[in-house]
Each structure stands twice: as C-alpha cells, then as structure tokens.
Structure 1
C-alpha cells in the first residue's frame, strides 16, 4: 500500500509506503500526477518517505512501478529519499546513473530538511 500527497502549491509529491506495493497504487498516483503535469509541466520534487522498503505484492506491481518511474522521471527536478533503510540508502547512487532527477538521501528523522531541499528548486 502506498499513501501519497501532492503539494500542488509547491509541486512536490510525497509517497509513503505502508506495506507491499500494489499495481493499483501506481495507477492512483499516476492519475493524480498526470493531471498536475498537464497543467504545470514539472514536479519540483518527489519525496520517498519510508522506514524500509516493503517490496511489491506481485510482478505486475513491479512492472507498474517501473513504468511510473520511466514515464515520469524526466518531469521531476529532485528526488529526496528519506529513510534509514540500508537498501533504500543505496538507491540515490543507482538512480544517479540512469535517471534525470537530482537525488539525495536523508535520515528518516529529517523529513522537514528533505522537504526544504525539495522546495529550493522553485
């Protein structure tokens, strides 16, 4: 399950996983984000706020996640990964090789600092 909040006035998407990710999660997020992008063109940032990575509930969910990233990564200026998970901490190093956004990792307790960093793009 994936909760999300789109801060329209700041152009920032905050996603918070609460269990294995589902295909429908990415469909819900894409629908909301695509409406925003049709009007505003770019997201200033995306924040992944997660104590750990819950994985996917199915291969279809994994594919939906991959498609969401592929379709949207060029429309995001910055990605903040707010976590203490060792697995998610390495994500910025991997993403930097093939994705557009500038990526930075923050400790889980520093959500406000990460949000401030994302806000500096506007």
Structure 2
C-alpha cells in the first residue's frame, strides 16, 4: 500500500509506503501521475517518505515498481528520500545511476526542507 499526497498545485508528489508493495499500487500511482505529466510535461519532484521500506509483496510487484520507474523517471526533476533508516539513506547513491532525476536523502526531521528543495527551480 502506498499513500500519496500532492503539493504545490500538483507539481510535487509525496508517496509513503505503508505495507508490502503490490503491483496494483504502481497502477494506482500511474493513474495519478500520468494526467499531471500529460498536462504539465513533468513533475518538479517526488518525496518518498519512508519511515521504513516494507518490501514487495511478490516478484510481480517488484517488476511493476521497476516498470513505473522506467516509464516515469525522465519526467521527474528531483526525488527526495526522507527517512532515518541507514539503508534508505544509501538509496539515492544507488538509483542515481539509473534515473535522470537529482536524488537526495533527507532525515525525517528535515521533511519540510526536502519539500522546499523539491519545489525550487532546477
């Protein structure tokens, strides 16, 4: 399950994984994101608010996650990963090689700073 919330007139999307991710979660996200990309051409950013990472329910969910990233990463300028989990703090360095967005980690106490960074031009 992924909760989501829009900021700044649909230019920044916050996503929060709450349970093991399912393939249908990424279909639902695409249904939210695709119309915005269609209208505006891109998203200023995505904020991943991850207290922890619950993993994927099954292999189909992992494939759906990879497909979502493949289909959308060129339309997102920045990604902020907000978490105090050490492993999730390394995620930006790993995914930076595979996505065109600028990806940065932020501690949970700096979520507001992450939102501000996402909404800055560039």
TM-score, normalised by the number of residues in structure 1? 0.95
Q: Distance in 2 between matches of 1:93 and 1:59?
A: 24
Q: What's the CA shift for 1:8?
A: 5.7
Q: What's the CA shift for 1:10?
A: 5.0
Q: Distance in 2 between matches of 1:38 and 1:92?
A: 26
* 1:21-36 map, 5 Å: 21-36=21-36
Q: What's the CA shift for 1:103?
A: 0.8
Matching residue of 1:108: 108
Q: What's the CA shift for 1:11?
A: 0.4
Matching residue of 1:88: 88
Aligned residues: CA RMSD: 1.2
> Where does the alignment leave 5 or more consecutive residues of structure 2 unmatched?
none
Q: What's the CA shift for 1:98?
A: 2.0
Structure 1 runs (4+) greater than 6 angstroms displaced: none
> Where does the alignment leave 5 or more consecutive residues of structure 1 unmatched?
none
Q: Distance in 1 between matches of 2:101 and 2:93?
A: 12
* Number of aligned positions between the proteins: 122
Q: Distance in 1 between matches of 2:95 and 2:76?
A: 13
Q: What's the CA shift for 1:13?
A: 0.8
TM-score, normalised by the number of residues in structure 2? 0.95
CA 1:8/1:39 → structure 2, altered by over 3 Å: closer, same or farther?
farther
Q: What's the CA shift for 1:87?
A: 1.8
* 1:48-87 map, 5 Å: 48-87=48-87
Q: What's the CA shift for 1:96?
A: 1.4
